[in-house]
Amino acid sequence: MKKLIELFISIFKIGAFTFGGGYAMIPLIEEEIVNNKRWLSKEEFVDILIVAQSLPGALAVNTSIFLGYKISGILGALTALMAVILPSFFIILIIAIFFMQFRDNDYVNAAFKGITAAVPMLVLVGAISLSKGLSKNIRTILTITIALIALIFFNIHPVLVVVISGIYGAMFLREKVS
């Protein structure tokens, strides 16, 4: 029960104080779950992120469910799900109640501009952190380069890039089983 409470508090804090969605949460979740609590290894965390990104739904929700399940089974999954959803629910509820009173406030608008500017950096930190767990070989670098080119220059849908990369990885990048 103690671990479930710790899990709830950890995920709830991250959900309550992270703006910008799931990608902005990745470095914070990693720091808390992998580095501070040591509930998972870096490799397990990366595996969970890969699966969470490959499934439909919000990245933060998918990741939390998988983390909770890995840490404490079904109860852990449900605990982590509630922990990641409740902060957003309460924040949206409060904003909906009070936003009309503050929507023209210069300080509120400036705060949102500052938050908006910081979010891409959180996503970049998450990408850099995840890249540390990758094998540094020509195939991985080639896969990343082709995926970036497909996304940026050819405007190929990200889901298609993920599916094709997954198929490529399953066919050519898996480790040989003896």
pLDDT tens-digit readout, 25-56: 888 888 889 999 999 998 899 888 888 888 88
CA angle 139, 60, 153 (to 5 degrees): 45
Q: Give the CA distances from residue 45 to residues 4, 38, 66, in Å, rounded to whole numbers and listed in that order.
A: 18, 11, 9
What's the pTM value of the predicted model, to 2 decimals? 0.59
pLDDT band of 98, cuts 50, 70, 90: confident
Mean pLDDT for 130-157 is 86
Average of pLDDT values for 126-150? 83
Say how far apart CA 128 and CA 27 lie, in whole Å: 9
CA 96 to chain centre: 25
3-state secondary structure of 8: helix
Distances (CA, A) of 114 to 17, 18, 108: 14, 13, 10
Q: Confidence band (pLDDT; 50, 70, 90) for 178?
A: very low
Higher-scoring residue by pLDDT: 66, 115: 66
DSSP letter string over 157-177? -HHHHHHHHHHHIIIIISPPP
Mean pLDDT over the full length of the chain: 85
Which carries the bigger pLDDT value, residue 10 or residue 177? Answer: 10
Q: Are 52 and 59 in contact (CB under 8 A)?
A: yes
